[in-house]
Chains A and B, each alone.
Chain A
């Protein structure tokens, strides 16, 4: 929680917004994944470490394939937590675990949150755990001074936003499109900005935007309202093709766009 808040505040002072980068843990395997995250952390202000799952139903083809690669390389919850603790040994930037609920449920909510905290995680995004099912999880996470991150969507009514605001910790993750993860050519910038203002007004929480963001122009086009920008599939695609120089270039241009 502390690391997340500090990151937002420090960047605000510098007139920047956080670049939040997602990659699937152990893609293509746990060893190489460590190098990928090291590279990502040179540019990103916060990372989302994706926990591989056999049925990632909120994800498009790019991230689905990353989950498959990770699982076939032998990834599991313990190895994901190991990766987090390796990352924590050289960075003070916030690390948020993003994973579907079943592996967490099977590991045991409390044990999972505790082990993730000792590994060095700061928060959790569970895309298939809406507030109705996630209030317990939210309380448990908050009681360990970590941050549950709940999602808001274009279809969320104000009533639902209140519930989401209550459940979430340091910030809300606004899903920019009705849809799954994946790169988009264009985004509905005006609508997204309007909606994010609505989310912030109803919840009083910081709100970052994700889904579909893949280039600096996307960030520049809707710079004002969001409190941060999440990039996932565009990064994962460069991991898939194992083009690290291109990944570096992309990250550097994305980070530059968050400094306008």
Chain B
């Protein structure tokens, strides 16, 4: 029986609550409120109604005929189309769930961090919809990479705080959001965007994202009459992967594969492959794998995809790695960019650069996947990345497929 987290918020040795004392009472309050509403029929009904009519769930599980043919080798790929959600990614599932929770808790001010901007946009959207004040922290480097998402958030009535400390990316946005939360904890709820942070966050985010895997279970049974051989999802902090993995964790015949950002390659220091190359540490409130130097300083990461550019990873992924239930691998920037183009051409779907990592893993490993039934979690759409990819492909023409 797989029952995590335990009563102390641990996933085996991972997880926990490593935060300043000021936040401890708020974490308990959050846990209590969450456990109360989790099985409250009224809350479930409200949430499910919104997922249906506002977000557009259930999202399709689409047989990717063109892409499967491209792969050959008898491989059959289905795509879980989270890109078709309102706001274009799976992030809205959690943002909306937590915003509803915050409202129940009487918190009127919401803060969030964002890397690629997807979680920021999702949170700004949920707040606009529910009438909550919203502040989004975003690293200066990401603001530059994802200018359009900044404008989107502002359009939705959120304030975007540009973070200029540290590496000016996602990890620093989290630092700044935590600092805000420590300061305004009495009035504010912090909507963390991934299965990271102190307990109960990894559990709450996983639960809200599990709708992905629950739907997938029904849909694949309907389409194929059996569970898949393998599920592949990209992993930055790991929320879309956890969302699709979790309902399958006890179905041991289903292989779970998490794909991290290999950046320039795992033999360089320019990647964000935490589970592949990191060591256990304590960061952003939890014990988990971490990219760090021998002295315990968190090291800078790199990925072409802002949403994966993070040195930590959710504690439950560390557990799944440790017990061998999931395996984790990485693909490079270039492999992801190739997959971005291939899926566009074979399926007419432009995937997010994050999701392109999962697609790329299947392409890269197709020789070893003969005859497999595979589900790829297509966690988001690539519209936000088109300008960046254009720039890259104009510079590195050899990566272009035309």
Q: Does A128 contact B (CB under 8 A)?
A: yes
Which residue of chain A is the closest to B165 with respect to CB atoms? A64
Stretch at the interface among A34-42, A153-161, A235-243: A153-161
Residues of A within 8 A of B294 (CB): 106
Question: What's the least CB distance linking A157 to chain B, in Å?
Answer: 6
A83: min CB distance to chain B, Å: 15
- A151 lies within 8 A of B17 (CB): no
Residues of B within 8 A of A133 (CB): 16-18
Query: Which A residues are CB-close (under 8 A) to B299?
Result: 54
Q: For the complex formed, measure the closest distance between the CB of B12 and the CB atoms of chain A, giving whole angstroms.
A: 15
The distance from the CB of B81 to the nearest CB of chain A, in whole angstroms, is: 36
Interface size on B, residues (CB 8 A): 39
Instruction: Choose one: B18, B21, B297; the contact of A54 (CB below 8 Å).
Output: B297
Contacts of A58 in B (CB 8 A): 20, 179, 182
- B371 — which chain A residues lie within 8 A by C-beta? none
Question: Which of A54, A130, A164 sits near B166, CB closer than 8 Å?
Answer: A54
Q: A153-B21, A178-B183 are in contact. Are A55 and B295 (CB under 8 A)?
A: no
A138-164 interface mask toward B, CB cutoff 8 Å, 1 = contact, 0 = none? 000000000000111111110010001
Q: Do A130 and B297 contact each other (CB < 8 Å), given the known contacts A58-B182, A155-B185, A155-B186?
A: no
**B20:A128 contact, CB within 8 angstroms:** yes
Most B CB within 10 A of own CB, among A64, A77, A106: A106
Q: Does A129 belong to the interface (CB within 8 Å)?
A: yes
Contact in complex: B21, A150 (CB < 8 Å): yes
Q: Is the CB of A132 within 8 A of B8?
A: yes
| Residues of A close to B172: CB separation below 8 A | 55
Please state if A61 and B20 are interface contacts (CB–CB under 8 Å).
no
Does B281 lie at the interface of the complex (its beta carbon under 8 Å from any beta carbon of A)?
Answer: yes
Interface assignment of A104: CB less than 8 Å from any CB of chain B: yes
Judge if B19 is at the interface, Cβ distance under 8 Å. yes
Question: Is residue A190 contacting chain B, with contact meaning CB distance below 8 A?
Answer: no
Chain B 75-106 interface residues, beta-carbon cutoff 8 Å to A: none
A57-B17 in contact (CB<8A): no
Q: Does A175 count as interface, using CB distance less than 8 angstroms? A: yes
Question: Which residues on the B side are within 8 Å of A179 (C-beta)?
Answer: 22, 182-183
A99 CB, min distance to chain B CBs, angstroms: 10
What separation, in Å, do the CA atoms of A150 and B21 have in the docked complex? 9
Assess the A105–B21 pair: CB atoms within 8 A.
no
Closest to A129 in B: B18
Interface residues of A in 51-65 (CB under 8 A from B): 53-55, 57-58, 60-61, 64
CA distance A61 to B176 in the complex (A): 10
Category for how many chain A residues contact B: 35 or more
* Complexed CA–CA distance, A60 and B179 (Å): 8
> Which of B175, B186, B281 is the one whose CB lies under 8 Å from A106?
B281
Question: Which of B123-131, B253-261, B282-290, B380-388 forms part of the interface with chain A?
Answer: B282-290
Residues of B within 8 A of A153 (CB): 20-22, 24
Residue among A76, A103, A129, A130 with the most chain B CB within 10 A?
A130
- State whether A103 touches B21 (Cβ < 8 A): no
Closest to B290 in A: A102
Is A250 at the interface (CB under 8 A from chain B)?
no
**Do B296 and A105 touch (CB < 8 A)?**
yes
In the complex, the answer to whether B21 meets A156 with C-beta atoms within 8 Å is yes
Contact with B along A95-136 (1 / 0, CB 8 A): 000000111111100000000000000000001111011000
Contact with A along B136-175 (1 / 0, CB 8 A): 0000000000000000000000000000011000011001
Cβ-defined partner of A132 (8 Å) among B24, B178, B183? B24
Contacts of B175 in A (CB 8 A): 55, 57
Asked if A105 and B282 sit within 8 Å, CB to CB, the answer is yes
Which of B178, B182, B294: most chain A Cβ within 10 A?
A: B182
CB B113 to nearest CB in A, in angstroms, measures 12
Are A54 and B298 touching (Cβ within 8 A)? Answer: yes
Q: Once bound together, how far apart are the Cα atoms of A104 and B184, in whole Å?
A: 29
Judge if B389 is at the interface, Cβ distance under 8 Å: no
- Which of A55, A155, A160, A180 has its CB near the most chain B CB atoms (within 10 A)? A55
Given A57-B178, A160-B24, A164-B21; A104-B16 close (CB under 8 Å)? no
Which residues of chain B are within 8 angstroms of A25 by Cβ–Cβ distance?
none
**A155 CA to B19 CA in the complex, in Å?**
13
Is B35 part of the binding interface, using a Cβ–Cβ cutoff of 8 Å? no
Q: Which residues of A contact B183 (CB under 8 A)?
A: 177-180
A55 touches B166 (CB 8 A): yes
**A71 touches B (CB below 8 Å):** yes
Interchain CA distance A164-B22 in the complex, whole Å: 12
Closest chain B residue, CB of each to CB of A174 = B21
Contact with A along B1-40 (1 / 0, CB 8 A): 0000000100000001111111111100000000000000
A180 and B295 contacting across the interface, CB-CB below 8 Å = no
Q: Is B332 an interface residue (CB 8 A)?
A: no
Q: How far is the CB of A85 from chain B (nearest CB, A)?
A: 18
- The reply on B292 being an interface residue by CB < 8 A is yes
Contacts of A127 in B (CB 8 A): 20-21
**Chain B residues packing against A (C-beta within 8 Å):** 8, 16-26, 165-166, 171-172, 175, 178-179, 182-186, 279, 281-285, 287, 290, 292, 294-299
Contacts A105-B296, A153-B20, A180-B183 aside, 16 further interface pairs with beta carbons under 8 A come to: A53-B297, A55-B171, A57-B284, A58-B179, A71-B297, A102-B282, A102-B283, A105-B287, A130-B19, A132-B17, A155-B26, A157-B25, A175-B21, A178-B182, A178-B186, A179-B22
